[in-house]
Amino acid sequence: MSFGIPFFPQEASSEASQVDALFYTLLAFSAVLGLALTGLVVGYAVKYRVGSPADRTGQRSRNMWLEMSWTIASLIIAFIFFGWGATLFVRRDHPPADALEITGLGKQWMWEFRQPGGQREINELHVPVGKPVVVSLAAQDVIHSFFVPAFRIKQDAVPGRTTHIWFIATEPGHYHLFCAQYCGTQHSEMGGWVTVMAPEQYAAWLNSQGEGETLAASGEKLFRVLGCSGCHGASSKVRAPALEGIFGRPVALENQQTVIADERYLRDSILIPKKEIAAGYEPVMPSFDGLIDEGELQMLLAYLKSLSPQPSAGTKP
Amino acid sequence: MTSSAMTGTYLSEGAGPRAWLLTTDHKRVAWLYLVSLTAFFFLGGAMAVLMRIELATPAGDLVSDDVYNRLFSLHGIIMVWFFLVPSIPATLGNFLLPLMIGARDLAFPRLNLASWYVFIFGSLFALFSVVAGGVDTGWTFYTPLSTLYANGFVSTAAFGVFIVGFSTIMTGINFIVTVHTLRAPGLTWFRLPIFVWTLYATSLVMVLATPVLAASLILIVLERVFGIGIFNPDLGGDPLLFQHLFWFYSHPAVYIMILPGMGVVSEVLPCFSRRPLFGYKAVAMSSMAIAVFGFLVWGHHMFVSGQSAYAGVVFSFLSFCVAIPSAIKVFNWSLTLRKGEISFETPMLYGLFFLGLFTFGGLAGLFLAALAVDVHVHDTYFVIAHFHYIMVGGMVTAYMAGLHFWWPKLTGRMYSETAGRIAATVTFVGFNLTFFPQYVLGFDGMPRRYHTYPPEFQFWNVLSSAGAVVLAIGYLMPLFYLGWSLFRGARATDSPWNATGLEWQTSSPPPPHNFKSMPIVTRPAYAYDMKGLEHERFSPHLEAGR
Amino acid sequence: MSRTESVAFDNPRRERRADTFAMWVFIGSEAMLFGAIFLVFLVAHLDFGPAFAAASKHLSVALGAFNTAVLITSSFTMAVAHMFALHRRWRATVWALLATSALGVCFLVVKSMEYGKEIAEGMAPLLGLPFRYEGPDPVHAEFFFSLYFTMTSLHALHLIGGIAVIGGMIALWRTASPANRLHRVEAVGLYWHFVDVVWMFMFPVLYLINR
C-alpha cells in the first residue's frame, strides 16, 4: 500500500469482499455522521461563543418533532445494518455440500491440521483456490480461535465440542493465520500461514506430501486398537449397537427420547457412554475419557462419519 | 490539608489520620476514594505505558511473554475494577449526590465508610497477586485457561475482585435509597440533575449485576481450590457457561463505567453554554433505557464463541437497540450548545472532547454489533480501540471534566486555568494518537493480547506507542497543578462557574452537614434561561430543626 | 425525639422507611446471586437430567425435610419477634429472636451432619477426595454434587450471616432506642425470610427432583 503502510487488509476469500462492503458502508456512514456532528459542535462553539453577535432569540430546550425524527431515523439505520450483518452471518452455518473437510486442532501453542487425504500440517494450512473448505475445529486444552484476517473469518475452538468454519479462498497467496483467543504464555506465537494454491498446484502439493493416512483411516485403526470393534463389530458376542450409517440418524434412547446422532452425541457416547443409552442395549460400554486425547477423538469421529453416506458434516450447528 | 482560614468547612472539622479514616462524612469518604483510585489509575496506567513501549517493536524484546501477559491482565483488572467501576460514583458521586439533592449526607454514612474499607481490603488481595507473581488470564478470567491452565495467582485476584464487588453493591444500595428518600422539598424526579439520574441508573446496575459476577468468581475459585468442575468439560461442565455468566455482569458493568460520565457531561455542557440541557426528559429516560437494555446484550461478546448463530442474531439486534439511547444523548448534548453563550474553561474543554471521543467510540460499536463485521474484528485491536474510546476517551475524560468542574467545591480553591486547558488539549491529542491507529490495526487483523506481532503492523503500533507517552503526560499534569492548587490556589467563590444546582448554593468547601438551612427547590434543573438563579429559596423555619 | 442513626435523616419514621427499602434493594441483589446459580443448575439439569435425578436420590430427604421444617419454624418465630417489637414488648422480642437464631443453629448442625454423611460415603467431589459413586453416569453425578455443595454452602453462609446479625443486634440491644430496635428487627426479619425462601426453592430443586 501507500509507502508500505497497511491501511486495508488483503481480500482473499469470497466472504472478504462482502464483509468489506458492509464495513466500508458503515465507515462511510460513521464518517458522515461523525464529521457532521463534529462540524455542528465546532460550528456552534464558534458561532455562539461568549460575546459573539449571533442571534440568540427563539431558543428552545425541547423540540418534540426533532427528537422524534432522529430517534426514528437512528432506529431505521440501525435495523438496516443489523439485517445486513445478520444475513451475511447466518451463512456461516450453511457450508456448501461439496466442501473439502479439513480438521484443525488447537493446543497450547500450535495449530495442527489434517487434510482430507490424511496429510498433516503444523501451523501451516494449504487450501485450493475457488473450492469451499470446511475446517472442523477442536481444542485440546483451552479455548483457541482460528482467525485468518484476509478471509475475514474467525471461529473459537472450544474444549469439549466441535465447531466449524468455512470459506472459499479466491486469491492464491500466503496469508496470516492467528490465534485470536488469548490462550496462555505463547498466545502471540500460536499461528502460522494459510497458503492458497491453484487447484493443480494444490494437488501436486498433496502428492508431494506423500499419501498420508486419512483421518478416517486412522480412526478405523484406532477403532480396532481400542477394542471398539470387539463389541460394535458385526460378529461380536457382546451386543452393542451397529455403527454403520449412524451419523446423522435418529437414535432411540432407553428413556423413550430420540436424539440425532450428531457430533455432540458421538463425542458424548465415547467419553460419557452412560449419559444417553440406546434403547435395547445394556449400559456396558466403558468410558474413554482420559484414555484418548482430542486428536484421537477427532479420528474416531471422522471414521464414524465415514460410515455414513452423507457428504459433509459441516451442516451441524 | 488547607490552611486554618477556612473554618466551619468539612475540611477544617478535625485533622489527622483518625479524623479522616474514621469519618462518616460523605465528602471525606469521597476523598478517601479519590486518593486510592488515583493511585490505582497511575498503577494501571504505568502498566499500559510499559505495554505500549514493548509493542513499539514487533519482537518481544523489552519484557518476556509471561511478563507481558501479566501486564495486560493486571492493567485490565486494575483499571476495570479498581478504577473505572468505582471512579465517578465513589468519588464525585459520593461527594455530590447529597449536595445535589439537598441532603445532609448519604442515607447510610457508616455503610459508605465501610464500603471504602471493603474496597481497600479487596484491593489488598489484588495487590498481593501483583506482588506475588501476577495473574496471566486477562481481566476476563476465561475458563478453562483460568481454572486449569493458568499458573498465576488467579484465586487471590478473583477473590479481590469478588470482595470489591461488595463495596460496589454497598455504594449502589446507598445511592438508590438516598435518591428515593432524601430529596429536598420540591425536588421532584424530573427536577433532578442528570448526574443524579445517571448515578441512580448506575446504582441499579451495580446492585443487580454485581452478584452475578460474584457467582461466577465463586465458581472459579471453587474450581481452582476445591476442584469442582462446573466449567470443566472433562467433568461434565461447560466453559461457555462461564462466558455467559461473566458477560452477564461485565456488559452491564460497561454501563456502570460510562453512565456517570454521561451525567457529568450533562452538567458541564449546559453550564458553560448558559443553556438548559436540550431534551432533559429524553436524556434522563435514555439513561434508564441504557441500564435496562444493558442487561440483555451480553451475548454480543460471544458471536464467534460457538454459541448458536440464532443467539448471535438476537444479541446483535438487541445491541443495535442499545445504541439508540446513546445516539439520542449525543444529539441532545450537541443541540444544547445552540444559541448559548459558550465559554471554554477547562471543564468545558474536557466536556467537548468527551463528546467527540464518545461519538467516535460509539460509532465503532455499530461495526461490532454488525455480526459479519464482528466476526472479522472480534478479539482484534479494533475492539481495544472501541472500548478505550468509550472507557478512557469517554469515562476518564468525563471524570477529568467533573474533577475540574467541582474542584472549587471539593477544595475551596481554584487551579490554574492555563495549565488546565493545556492538559486537556494534550490529553485529547495523545488519546487520539494512541487509539485511532488501533482501529486501523484491528481492521488489518492484529489480534489483541499479542506480545509479538508481524512486522507489517509496526507503523501503526509506533504511532500508538508515541501517543501513549503524550497521553501519559496529559494525565500526569493535573496531578501537579491540582496538587499545587490545594495549598496555593486562589480562594474559590461559592459558585465560580455561576452554575445552577443545589451544590453551588452552599459554601465552597461545604460545611460538615452541607447546608446551613434546608434548601427548597422551585425550578427545573439547568434553569440557565431563567433570571435570578442565585436566589434559590431557603426555608428559614427548618434551620432550627438541625 | 428526633434521634436517628444516620445524620442524613431528620426523623426516625423516614429512616425506618429507608432501612426497609434498603433491605429490599439488598434482597434484590441477593436474588440475582442465587438466581445466577439456580440458572447454572437449571441449564445443567436440562443437559444431564437422568444423571441428576439419579444422583439426587443419594441425598437424604428425611434430613432435608426436617431442615425445611426447622427453617419454616424459624421464619415463624422471626415474625413473632416482629409482632412483639411492634407492640414494644422488648423482652418477648429478644426471646423470639433468640429462638430464631437457635433454630438457625439447629439447621446448620443438621446440615453439617448431612455433609459428614455425604463425605463419608465419598460423594463429595472436593479437595481431591475420592469420588465413589455407584450408579449410571458418575461424571455428571459428580457435577450434580459439585452444584449441590456450592449451592447449599452458599445458603449456609447466608444463614450464618443472619445468625451473626441477630447476635450483634441483641448485643447492641441496650444502647438502641425503641425506634432503632423496631427498624432493625424489621430489616433483619426481611433478610431472614429471604434466606428461608431461598431454601424453599433449593430443597425441591435439589432433593425432590424427579423423585
Chosen for mutation from A272, A275, A277 (greatest number of chain C CBs closer than 10 Å) is A275
User: A162 is in which domain, residue-wise?
Assistant: 8-38+65-212
- Show residues of chain A in contact with B355, CB under 8 Å: 41
Model pLDDT for residues B469-497, shown as the tens digit of each residue: 999 999 999 999 999 999 999 999 999 99
**By mean pLDDT, which of B68-82, B279-293, B530-544, C162-176 is the weakest?**
B530-544
pLDDT higher than 90, residue B8: no
Report how far residue B350's alpha carbon sits from residue B425's, in angstroms, rounded to the nearest whole number.
8
B498 in A contact zone (CB under 8 Å): no
pLDDT higher than 60, residue A1: no
Report the amino acid identity of residue B251.
Answer: H
C154 in B contact zone (CB under 8 Å): yes
Q: Is residue A190 part of a domain?
A: yes
CB contact under 8 A, C150 and B546: no
Residues forming a β-bridge with A194: A125, A175
Q: What local confidence, expressed as pLDDT, does residue C127 receive?
A: 65
Model pLDDT for residues B181-208, shown as the tens digit of each residue: 999 999 999 999 999 999 999 999 999 9
Identify whether residues A85 and A119 lie together within a single domain.
yes
Of B66, B306, B460, the CB nearest to A161: B306
Q: What is the largest CA-CA distance in chain A?
A: 101
Most confident range, picked from B48-52, B59-63, C177-181: B48-52
Q: Are B55 and B117 in contact (CB under 8 A)?
A: no
- The terminus-to-terminus CA distance of chain B in angstroms comes to 27
User: Is the pLDDT higher at B418 or at B545?
Assistant: B418
Q: Is residue A255 part of a domain?
A: yes
Mean pLDDT to the nearest integer, B142-165: 85
Q: Are B456 and B56 in contact (CB under 8 A)?
A: no
Report how far residue B331's alpha carbon sits from residue C60's, in angstroms, rounded to the nearest whole number.
62
Q: Are B150 and B138 in contact (CB under 8 A)?
A: no
Identify whether residues A154 and A271 lie together within a single domain.
no
pLDDT higher than 50, residue B540: no
φ/ψ of residue A2, rounded to 5:
-60, 120
Closest residue in A to C139 (Cα–Cα): A272
Q: Which of A317, A313, A253, A264 is nearest to A96 (CA)?
A: A313
Q: Are B451 and A188 in contact (CB under 8 A)?
A: yes
All residues at 6 or more sequence positions from A142 whose CB lies less than 8 Å from its CB, including other chains:
A108, A159, A183, A184, B142, B144, B145, B148, B149
- DSSP-derived letter for residue B305 is T
Q: Is residue A60 part of a domain?
A: no
- Show residues of chain C in contact with A264, CB under 8 Å: none
Chosen for mutation from A269, A274, A287 (greatest number of chain C CBs closer than 10 Å) is A274
φ/ψ of residue A313, rounded to 5:
-100, -10
Report how far residue A106's alpha carbon sits from residue C131's, in angstroms, rounded to the nearest whole number.
31
Mean pLDDT to the nearest integer, A202-221: 82
- Show residues of chain B in contact with C124, CB under 8 Å: none
Residue A257, min C-alpha distance to chain C (Å)? 12
Q: With a CB-CB cutoff of 8 Å, which residues 437-496 of chain B face chain A?
A: 440, 443-445, 447-454, 456-457, 459-460
Q: Tell me the pLDDT band of A261, cut-offs 50, 70 and 90.
A: confident
Q: Which of B391, B152, B348 is nearest to B250 (CA)?
A: B391
Q: What local confidence, expressed as pLDDT, does residue A61 receive?
A: 66
B58 in A contact zone (CB under 8 Å): no
Contacts 24+ apart (CB under 8 A), B54-57: B54/B451, B55/B453, B55/B461, B55/B464, B55/B465, B56/B461, B56/B462, B56/B465, B57/B458
Work out the percent of chain A whose per-residue pLDDT is above 70.
94
Q: Is residue A15 part of a domain?
A: yes
Of C22, C29, C40, the CB nearest to B211: C29
Give the neighbor-by-neighbor strand order of the sheet with A144-148.
A124-128, A191-197, A173-179, A144-148, A153-157
| Domain final position from A212, A247, A273 | A212
Q: How are the residues of chain C apportioned to helix, strand and coil, as percentages rounded to the nearest 5?
A: 80, 0, 20
CB contact under 8 A, B107 and C18: yes
Closest residue in A to B358 (Cα–Cα): A34
* Residue A251 grid cell: 437414535
Mean pLDDT to the nearest integer, B58-62: 89
CB contact under 8 A, B369 and A82: yes
Q: Is residue A315 part of a domain?
A: no
Q: What local confidence, expressed as pLDDT, does residue C178 receive?
A: 82
- Show residues of chain C in contact with B108, CB under 8 Å: 6, 22
Q: Is residue A75 part of a domain?
A: yes
Q: With a CB-CB cutoff of 8 Å, which residues 52-91 of chain A face chain C?
A: none
| Domain final position from A191, A212, A233 | A212
Report the amino acid identity of residue B21.
Answer: L
Q: Which CATH number do you get for residue A237?
A: 1.10.760.10
Mean pLDDT to the nearest integer, B269-292: 92
Identify whether residues A161 and A251 lie together within a single domain.
no
CB contact under 8 A, C137 and A289: no
Q: Are A27 and B373 in contact (CB under 8 A)?
A: no
Mean pLDDT of all residues belonging to chain B: 89
C140 in B contact zone (CB under 8 Å): yes
Q: What local confidence, expressed as pLDDT, does residue A219 receive?
A: 84
Identify whether residues A226 and A261 lie together within a single domain.
yes
B5 in A contact zone (CB under 8 Å): no
CB contact under 8 A, C40 and B235: no
A291 in C contact zone (CB under 8 Å): no
Q: Is residue A85 part of a domain?
A: yes
Identify whether residues A222 and A198 lie together within a single domain.
no
Strand, helix or coil for residue A153: strand
For chain A, where are the alpha helices, taking DSSP H only? 14-47, 64-90, 199-208, 215-225, 228-232, 263-271, 294-306
Q: Is residue A48 part of a domain?
A: no
CB contact under 8 A, A86 and B452: no
Q: Which residue has the cell 450548545?
A: B337
Report how far residue C24's alpha carbon sits from residue B208's, in angstroms, rounded to the nearest whole number.
12
User: Is the pLDDT higher at A275 or at B454?
Assistant: B454
Mean pLDDT to the nearest integer, B291-300: 90
Q: Tell me the pLDDT band of A4, cut-offs 50, 70 and 90.
A: low
Chosen for mutation from A90, A154, A264, A276 (greatest number of chain B CBs closer than 10 Å) is A154
Identify whether residues A253 and A106 lie together within a single domain.
no
Q: Which of C207, C187, C192, C199 is nearest to C15 (CA)?
A: C187
Q: Are B451 and B60 in contact (CB under 8 A)?
A: yes
- pLDDT tens, N- to C-terminus, chain C (211 residues): 346 777 888 887 888 888 889 999 999 999 999 998 888 888 888 877 778 888 888 888 889 999 999 999 999 999 999 999 999 899 999 999 999 999 999 999 999 999 888 888 877 776 666 777 777 677 778 888 888 888 999 999 999 999 999 999 999 888 888 878 888 898 999 999 999 999 999 999 888 876 5
Q: Which helix or strand (DSSP H or E) is residue A166 part of?
A: strand A163-168
Report the amino acid identity of residue B490.
Answer: A
Q: With a CB-CB cutoff of 8 Å, which residues 476-505 of chain B face chain C?
A: none
All residues at 6 or more sequence positions from C37 whose CB lies less than 8 Å from its CB, including other chains:
B215, C147, C150, C151, C154
CB contact under 8 A, A142 and B366: no
Q: What local confidence, expressed as pLDDT, does residue A183 receive?
A: 92
Tell me if the bond preceding B484 is cis, omega within 30° of 0.
no
Task: Enumerate neighbours of B (3 or more CB pairs within 8 A).
Answer: A, C
Domains and CATH numbers, chain B: 18-545 (1.20.210.10)
Q: What local confidence, expressed as pLDDT, does residue C1 receive?
A: 38
Give the residue extent of every domain in chain C: 12-207
Domains of chain A: total:
2
CATH class of C12-207: mainly alpha
Q: Count residue pairs from A and C with Cβ separation < 8 A.
A: 17
C172 in B contact zone (CB under 8 Å): no
* Residue A16 grid cell: 472478504
In terms of DSSP bridges, do strands A250-252 and A258-260 run parallel, antiparallel, or are they unpaired? antiparallel
- Show residues of chain B in contact with C9, CB under 8 Å: 107, 181-182
Task: Enumerate neighbours of C (3 or more CB pairs within 8 A).
Answer: A, B
Q: What local confidence, expressed as pLDDT, does residue A313 receive?
A: 44
* Residue B489 burial (C-beta neighbours within 10 Å; 0-12, 13-18, 19+): buried
| Domain final position from A197, A212, A227 | A212
Q: Tell me the pLDDT band of B50, cut-offs 50, 70 and 90.
A: very high
Q: Which CATH number do you get for residue A139?
A: 2.60.40.420
Mean pLDDT to the nearest integer, A103-114: 91
Of B233, B340, B359, the CB nearest to A160: B233
Identify whether residues A26 and A98 lie together within a single domain.
yes
Q: Tell me the pLDDT band of A316, cut-offs 50, 70 and 90.
A: very low
Residue C122, min C-alpha distance to chain A (Å)? 20
Mean pLDDT of all residues belonging to chain A: 86
In terms of DSSP bridges, do strands A163-168 and A132-139 run parallel, antiparallel, or are they unpaired? antiparallel
In terms of DSSP bridges, do strands A100-107 and A110-114 run parallel, antiparallel, or are they unpaired? antiparallel
Report how far residue A169's alpha carbon sits from residue A15's, in angstroms, rounded to the nearest whole number.
9
- Show residues of chain A in contact with C137, CB under 8 Å: 272, 274-275
Model pLDDT for residues A28-81, shown as the tens digit of each residue: 999 999 999 999 999 999 999 998 888 888 766 677 888 889 899 999 999 999
Q: What local confidence, expressed as pLDDT, does residue A66 receive?
A: 86
C113 in B contact zone (CB under 8 Å): no
CB contact under 8 A, C128 and B227: yes
Identify whether residues A90 and A107 lie together within a single domain.
yes
